[in-house]
Structure formats: C-alpha cells, structure tokens
Structure 1
Amino acid sequence: METMRAAAIDRFGGPEVITMHTLPVPKHTAQEVLIAVDTAGVGIWDLSQRGGSWFEKKEFPLVMGSDGSGVVAAVGSSVRRFKVGDRVYSYSYENPKGGFYAEYVAVVASKVALIPGGLDFLHAGAIPTIGLTALQGVDDALGIEAGENLIIHGASGNVGMLALQFAKLRGARVLATASGSDGIDFVRRLGADEAVDGK
C-alpha cells in the first residue's frame, strides 16, 4: 500500500474545493499509529478548516477530517497500547500528515483510543472532538463530583448530550435545557433530573 484515495482540497473555499486525489499513504513515526479508516466524522470545525479560517497549514493538497474510526494497520516502534487489527477511534485536528477523509491516517498514539464494546465504527467516528469537549468541560473545567448540581444548556446537542451523560456518571444532579418536546424527551431519556424548554 503505497498510495491511497483521499478527499482533499487544493485551495480554501466552499464544498466545491473538495476533490478526490491519489496520494501517498502517510508514513507513521515511532510514536504514531497508522489507521485504516472506516468512518470519518464531519464537524463545524471541518467547514472552518476548509474555508481557511481555522487552520495554520497552507500546504496543499490538504486532507481534512478531524475525527474518525478504523482499524490499526501499523504501529510505531514506541507504541505499546495498540496492535495491528485493533478497532480504534481518534482525532487528528491540525495533523500535518492529514486527516480522516482518506483511506489511511497516521496519528500520534496519545490521540487514539480503543473503541469500547458495543460501539460501532459509525458512531465512534463521530465522537472524538465532541466527546473530548464535553469531558474537558465536566472534568477539567468544572471538576463535577457526586451530589453537585449542574445546568447544561443545549443538552440535546452533540456536546451537551455527552456532557449530560458524563455528569450523571459522576453522580451529579443535572438540569437540562433543550428545544421542543422531542428535545425535552431526549434529555430525559439520557438521564436529566429536570428538563425545560430553552426557547
């Protein structure tokens, strides 16, 4: 496997700048994992990156795709946590070797995790950035502990729904805001102690 297919951009712009390319498979270093991509997530940050407003790299072609999942195809000599064949998910934001809009991506092993049992590639590929954002909010910024109260605005959104579940796992009491009756029902199913319409 010397080359791969990748959806890349040759200039910044709208969706029309994304085109298919044949590119070299990225070479992984001793600290990296080479992942055979199954699923690439799409987030608002990818749109900003494509438009050129949120990314330092100016070398083209640029393979985008910050989030994704797949199977470990190769591991660097210093990597001990993973082996070929492992099901993994990862984020590769601002990765100079490119992102998940390709058949392969090389990612620093510290940004890779095993996919938990019961989670498929499709869902795992959408979680990394929003999951880390929610986890950093609940643990790092707030340090939520059992018995504490937390209000989560937009709890039916991608980050909010994960923050709600992380807070409940830590034993917090959660008041959630969501939009409409379907949003209220959704956050209650996720474990919100109280839910109100945020409109």
Structure 2
Amino acid sequence: MTNAKPDTMQAAAIDRFGGAELVTVRAVPVPEVGPSDVLIRVEVAGVASWDALEREGRYDGAFGMPSTFPYVLGWDCAGAVVAVGGQVSRFKEGDRVYAASMPVPKGGTYATYAVTDADNVSLIPAKLTIEQAGVMGWDALTALSGLEEIGLKQGDTVMIFGASGGIGHMAIQLAKRLGARVLAVASGDDGVALSRRLGADAIVNGRNGGRS
C-alpha cells in the first residue's frame, strides 16, 4: 500500500438525519484503507435524488449495519488514486478512476477523499470527461440492471420511457451495445434529438402526443 493517506479531510456531513440545513462542511477523519480498498482524491462527486432520502434517514439500517455520525453522503465520484490496499493490483497511485459505491460503512463521496472496495472502481475511459465519469456510475448500473432484469439480448426490441433522462439515456446506449432495437419515448425536441444521437431506432416526443 502507498503511504500517501492523509489523516483528515474536508467533508459535507450530517450529525443527525433531517433536512438539507443539517449538512455542514467540516474536518473529519479519512476512512481507513482496507486490504481490498482504493483511496480516491475526489474531483467530482455525483449528487442524486436518493441522497435526500438517505439524508432524511430512510435508508437507516437498510444495508445491514447501523448508521454512524458524522455521516458523509454521496455514492458516485471520480478522481485520482492516492493509495491502495495490499491486495489491490489493478490500480496504482495516480490512476484516474471513477467509482460507484454505497457509503456505508466507510463514508460517502461528498468529501476530499473517498474509500471503497476496488471492485467498485474502474479506470476512466479516454472518451469520457472526469465530470461525466464522476456522475454516471449509479445511473448506468441502474439502467443495466433493468435491461438484465428483462433478459434483453441481441435482436430484441425494447421500449425505453424517459429516454432522455439520466437513466434512460444510459439505457439507450447499453441496449444498443447489446444489439437490441430501441424504441424511445423522450421529453421535448431536445430529448428527441439526444435519443436520436445516442442511437435510438424510433423516437416519439412524450410532450406533444407522440409526434417526434
């Protein structure tokens, strides 16, 4: 393991569950780096709809362990590897990576540094900006899990509602990579244009009665 791990970091954290006014920026300890972990210096952190639910305590205990405070939110990030655990061989200090991980038990990504298991980390592809990589992880995983749930395979046809949304636009691209024909219901002229650019085979505009 590299020896670059700092002792403290800045984080947006809460001391109890509740509203957004409870989130404050303060110094907190950097989580310990376990044998299979990667420590990332966060440059981009994703902000998602479920963060508000988590902040309110609706996920308390949902992941099989009690919540501890200060509680750092955030499930997505991108940045540079600062340190790795002794069992990690896929990454090294300085690698540009992105990660999608639930914050329990080692804290979230609204922080200067984030620690997560190496299985949750990937190198940033050359065609992606760090901003894109930092916010796409859970949306992409959600879209992929939906396609896997219906058993989508090459030659199938799938209809994607909300095709121009955060998860929908990922679903278009993943479905096309699987070799499927994609029918898209998008939102507005700009949503139709985005869906077309991403490869949808047929698109309707959900805002004007289906005219694309």
- Under TM normalisation by the shorter chain, which class is it? over 0.9
Q: Which residue of 2 aligns with 1:131?
A: 140
Q: Which residue of 1 aligns with 2:11?
A: 6
Amino acid at match of 2:195: V
1:113 to 88, 111, 122: 122
What is the count of residue pairs matched by the alignment?
198
Q: Which runs of 5+ in 2 are unaligned?
A: 1-5, 208-212
2:200 to 154, 175, 192: 192
Q: Distance in 2 between matches of 1:8 and 1:126?
A: 19
CA contact (8 A) 1:95 1:107 kept: no
Amino acid at match of 2:154: A
CA contact (8 A) 1:89 1:124 kept: yes
CA contact (8 A) 1:50 1:64 kept: yes
Identity among equivalent pairs (%): 49
- Superposed displacement of residue 119, structure 1: 1.3
Write the deviation string for residues 90-134 of structure 1: whole angstroms up to 9, x where unpaired: 122142110111111110111111111121221111011001111
Q: Which residue of 2 aligns with 1:180?
A: 188
Q: Distance in 2 between matches of 1:58 and 1:77?
A: 27
CA contact (8 A) 2:67 2:104 kept: no
Q: Which residue of 1 aligns with 2:3?
A: none
Q: Distance in 1 between matches of 2:104 and 2:191?
A: 35
- Superposed displacement of residue 169, structure 1: 1.4
Q: Distance in 2 between matches of 1:181 and 1:38?
A: 33
CA contact (8 A) 2:74 2:103 kept: no
Q: Which residue of 1 aligns with 2:210?
A: none
Q: Which residue of 2 aligns with 1:102?
A: 111
Q: Which moves more between the two structures, 5-14 or 180-189?
A: 180-189
Q: Which residue of 1 aligns with 2:165?
A: 157
Shift in alpha-carbon separation, 1:188–1:133, aligned structure 2, 3 A: same
What's the TM-score once normalised by structure 1's chain length?
0.95
Amino acid at match of 1:80: S
Q: Distance in 1 between matches of 2:100 and 2:153?
A: 27
Q: Distance in 1 between matches of 2:13 and 2:58?
A: 17
Moved over 6 A (4+): none
What's the TM-score once normalised by structure 2's chain length?
0.89
Q: Distance in 2 between matches of 1:3 and 1:170?
A: 44
